[in-house]
Amino acid sequence: MNKITKISIVVFALSSMFVFSSCERDDEQNLDERNWQLVWSDEFDESKGSLPDSTNWNFELGNGDNGWGNAELQSYTNDTANIRMDGNGHLQIVAIKNGTSYTSARITTKGKFEQKLGRIEASIKLPYGPGIWPAFWMLGSNIDSVSWPACGEIDIMEYRGQQPDIVHGSLHGPGYSGGNPVTKSYGLTQGRFDTDFHLFAVEWDEEKIDFFVDDYLFQRVYSDDVSGDWVYNQPFYLLLNVAVGGNFVGFPTSDTPFPQTMTVDYVRVYNEIR
Amino acid sequence: MKTKRNITLNWLILAIFTAAFSISCERELDELKPVSYPIMPEVFIDDFSSGLNYAAFGGSVPTAFDVDKEVAYDNSEASMRFDVPDANDPAGAYAGGVFFTSVGRDLSVFDALTFYIKASQPATIDVLGFGNDLGESKFQTSINGVTVNTSWKKVIIPLPDPKKLTAERGMLFYSEGPENGLGYTFWIDEVKFEKLGTIAYPRFTIQNGNNDNQSSFVGVSMQISGLSSIFNMPNGIDQSVNISTAYFDFATSDETIATVDENGKVVIVGGPGTAKITASINGEEALGSLTIQSKGAFISAPTPISLPADVISIFSDAYPNIAVNYYNGYWAPYQTTQSADFEVNGDHILYYTNFNFVGIEFSSPTQDASSMTHLHLDVYVPSNLTSDAQFKLELVDFGTGGTGSYVTSIPAASSQQWVSFDIPLSSFSGLTNRAKLAQLIFSTTSTGFTGFYADNIYLYR
């Protein structure tokens, strides 16, 4: 009798531990420890109403060819109505509706800061509404010589304003681009990406790229997972933009609230110290 | 072994009982909580959930609702079917009713009522909501103009403040009339309360979002109005939601000047002084406010001196009043005038706000004023007039007398005090006969003259 009791206590203790731990640590991941050293960042600490630091960022202006290749509707400007510091340590990119047309902003670090491998992250509060398409992404620096998609594209974060609880991480390269990228989605349970800041990141080494939301790994792509060439062995530059309408997102409706603001707390880039 | 085991089991039971008793013994009075109601998300999945009842609205087709075992969302067992009647259906003019429980449910852990809906044809459903319990319906919440078509779609109705919904009995209500005179059928299924977490940016207003000012007196009460709410739905689209006053937490900046109760009723209790009434829901400040400028004690209009036998009284506390159909006809479409009538210490006052024109009718029966000589009227303009205000009065005879008009003015210097008018009936030009007087109409062309109090309106000789 004694013996039986003892065993059942042990079993009970084990099962309660199991229940307890599975409740508490549902989404814990065991990832390799890696050491990161900050090599570049923009904290967007400039005064209210100023434009992004021109030593870090370029503007891309206008409507692009065929709506930047995606049938996007907006015209990009460098007007402080569309892009500015909020004076509280954030960059704001604002999509505005003017009658039947839209303005917004798109900035890149092309030629100013380019990065091969490492961890690239940004803390962002997203806009919302049907047809709103914000992105934090990278393009291969050799885009002018080999063109897209041979240069490669790393979409650290893309999002459709009509699905404010879901973000997407994708790779576009030769043989897997446009409507056929390597991609995966991450959804919040009982939450939205536009009501608070979230951390979007990739960790990129020679053999793979990991995609994170709030330090949760939701997609790992190895070099042999892609159907075409692995082109992520050269420097890439960073982009931040808010598009309105386009092939990925569909089009805004009369119900889409405007203006819509993407608020970026910081962009930081790290090298791995081995 | 078997016996031993039983003994141990008994000991265990005893131990549990002891534990239970010792807990209940230690419980103190102040630990007792209000009755808590069951948390039950399901309203109608494949059948009525526990304790759910149905009642049709008055004037609606009583048999409009039925459980349908043929059509259901996701091939489930059954759905709710609603047959909207054709226009002029003798059984009823519309389909409408309430699904309610006899015992309240605790909805405070949810943030939305959701269900799937489809119809036999594209249509726009007038009202869908919850919080109607056929009684007080304290937390009634609804959305209007829900478009439906022949495919199932999900409808989401936000819970404006879940914390307040701890004993809700109104699970679902609906009201829908014919589309272009023709009836049709719609189905609702998988009705349940959910915690979505994807409804954002609640925005609330009182006074239609305006910061209104109102001067008044001790003893006067008024109602906070212009309540609305907007939520951003899980698809990024803003949705207007009709919500009841009880969701709002009202506050006054100075309760020695004006108080406000949970129903938004404001009472001026002191002054002179200023109190600002604001509101919030679930900690979210509502846009808009009402600032009360209390002028202190109310000064009544002069007490009339005519003998009752010589008076036909339309509105006065000094005389018995004749039968009056209305003191504000809300004549569409051009009238803007609203009424905010009040009472101070038993003295009833008409208060016309947002004034352009307004009519008083006393046609049941009409009044024979042939023997009367004058119209008396006391007027008080609560705002500060910057120039003399034009004031036009018209008397209408429903017999052969026609309409007579008289134009006077209220001097700017007489604003914020009582002004008495004694107008000879012979001065109403165009009024040829007053045997069947039926209406008195006030109007103005002065834009600064936005409202007035009126008292002691009577005809006399």
Dist. CA B313–CA B364, nearest whole Å: 14
- β-pairing, A74-76 with A101-104? parallel
B391-440 pLDDT, tens digit per residue, is 999 999 999 999 999 999 999 999 889 999 999 999 999 999 999 999 99
Tell me the β-bridge partners of B42. B192
Tell me the chain A residues in contact with residue B232 when contact means C-beta distances shorter than 8 Å: 128, 257
Grade residue B375 by pLDDT with cuts at 50, 70 and 90: very high
Residue of B nearest to A192 (CA): B198
Residue A260 pLDDT more than 90? Answer: yes
Residue A46 pLDDT more than 90? Answer: yes
Residue A191 pLDDT more than 50? Answer: yes
Residue B219 pLDDT more than 80? Answer: yes
H/E stretch holding A17 reads helix A2-24
Residue-level pLDDT at A27: 55
CA A165 to chain centre: 14
Residue of A nearest to B198 (CA): A191
Residue-level pLDDT at B294: 93
Q: Choose among A138, A136, A143, A144: nearest CA to A117.
A: A138
CA A256 to chain centre: 22
Task: Give me the phi and psi of B286, to 5 degrees please.
Answer: -80, 145
CB contact under 8 A, A1 and B4: yes
Active site residue A153: yes
Active site residue A207: no
Mean pLDDT across chain B? 91
Q: Choose among B176, B20, B32: nearest CA to B93.
A: B176
Residue-level pLDDT at A20: 38
Mean pLDDT calculated for residue range A114-130:
98
Residue-level pLDDT at B55: 96
Grade residue A21 by pLDDT with cuts at 50, 70 and 90: very low
User: Residue B321 in contact with residue B285, Cβ under 8 Å?
Assistant: no
Token look-up 């303009």 returns B381
Residue B236: which of A128, A188, A189 has the nearest Cβ?
A128
Grade residue B16 by pLDDT with cuts at 50, 70 and 90: very low
Cα-trace Rg, chain A? 21
For A132-207, strand residue ranges (E) read 132-140, 153-159, 166-172, 182-187, 198-204
Residue B257 pLDDT more than 60? Answer: yes
Dist. CA B165–CA A14, nearest whole Å: 39
Mean pLDDT calculated for residue range A148-170:
97
Residue of A nearest to B7 (CA): A1
CB contact under 8 A, A164 and B236: yes
Buried-state track B76-103, b at ≥16 Cβ within 10 A, e below 16:
eebbbbbbbbeeebeebebbbbbbbbee
Dist. CA B351–CA B344, nearest whole Å: 12
Enter the tokens of residue A173: 């390269």
Residue B198: which of A164, A253, A255 has the nearest Cβ?
A164
- β-pairing, B238-243 with B141-148? antiparallel
H/E stretch holding B342 reads strand B342-344
Tell me the β-bridge partners of B418. B380
User: Residue A211 in contact with residue A219, Cβ under 8 Å?
Assistant: yes
Architecture of domain A35-273: Sandwich (2.60)
Residue B198: which of A130, A161, A192 has the nearest Cβ?
A192
* % pLDDT > 70, chain B: 93
Grade residue B158 by pLDDT with cuts at 50, 70 and 90: very high
Peptide bond into B234 cis (omega under 30): no
Sheet order of strands, B402-410 included: B357-361, B437-443, B389-397, B402-410
- β-pairing, B273-281 with B289-294? antiparallel
Residue-level pLDDT at B30: 56
Residue A195: which of B4, B200, B238 has the nearest Cβ?
B200
Tell me the chain A residues in contact with residue B234 when contact means C-beta distances shorter than 8 Å: 164-165, 192
B75-101 pLDDT, tens digit per residue, is 899 999 999 999 999 999 999 999 999
Task: Give me the phi and psi of B431, to 5 degrees please.
Answer: -90, 105
Residue B43 pLDDT more than 80? Answer: yes
Q: How many CA atoms lie within 13 A of A261 on its CB side?
A: 16
Residue A206 pLDDT more than 90? Answer: yes
Architecture of domain B200-294: Sandwich (2.60)
Residue of A nearest to B230 (CA): A257
CA angle B189, B192, B198 (to 5 degrees): 115
Residue-level pLDDT at B380: 94
B442-458 pLDDT, tens digit per residue, is 999 998 898 999 999 99
Dist. CA B201–CA B351, nearest whole Å: 37
Tell me the chain A residues in contact with residue B8 when contact means C-beta distances shorter than 8 Å: 1
Dist. CA A203–CA A38, nearest whole Å: 13
Neighbours of A159 (CB within 10 A): 28
Backbone conformation region of residue A18, classed left if phi is above 0, alpha if psi is from -120 to 50, else beta: alpha
Instruction: Give the CATH class of B42-194.
Output: mainly beta
CB contact under 8 A, B237 and A130: yes
Say which of A158, A203, A207, A272 is annotated catalytic.
A158
Say which of A72, A114, A121, A153 is annotated catalytic.
A153
How many Å lie between the alpha carbon of A131 and the closest alpha carbon of chain B?
10
- Here the ipTM equals 0.82
User: Residue B460 in contact with residue B374, Cβ under 8 Å?
Assistant: yes
Burial of B38 (0-12, 13-18, 19+ CB in 10 A): exposed
Residue-level pLDDT at A8: 40
* % pLDDT > 90, chain A: 86
Tell me the chain A residues in contact with residue B4 when contact means C-beta distances shorter than 8 Å: 1
Grade residue B1 by pLDDT with cuts at 50, 70 and 90: very low
* % pLDDT > 90, chain B: 83
CB contact under 8 A, A256 and B236: yes
The DSSP letter of residue B160 is S
How many Å lie between the alpha carbon of B200 and the closest alpha carbon of chain A?
7
Domain map of chain A by residue range?
35-273
Tell me the chain A residues in contact with residue B201 when contact means C-beta distances shorter than 8 Å: 195
A-to-B residue pairs, Cβ atoms closer than 8 angstroms: 50
Grade residue A29 by pLDDT with cuts at 50, 70 and 90: confident
User: Residue B389 in contact with residue B419, Cβ under 8 Å?
Assistant: no
CB contact under 8 A, B196 and A189: no
Token look-up 């914000």 returns A134
- Looking at A62-71, B6-15, B29-38, which range is the least confident one? B6-15
Residue A190: which of B195, B236, B237 has the nearest Cβ?
B195
Residue-level pLDDT at B33: 63
Enter the CATH code of domain B308-460: 2.60.120.430
Residue B398's alpha-carbon distances to B313, B424, B431, B436, B439, in angstroms, are 18, 20, 11, 5, 8
Dist. CA B353–CA B339, nearest whole Å: 6
Residue-level pLDDT at B8: 43
Token look-up 């943030």 returns B111
**Could you give the 3-state DSSP secondary structure of residue B245?**
helix
Enter the tokens of residue B29: 């009075």
Task: Give me the phi and psi of A4, to 5 degrees please.
Answer: -60, -45
CATH topology match: B200-294 vs B308-460: no
Domain map of chain B by residue range?
42-194, 200-294, 308-460
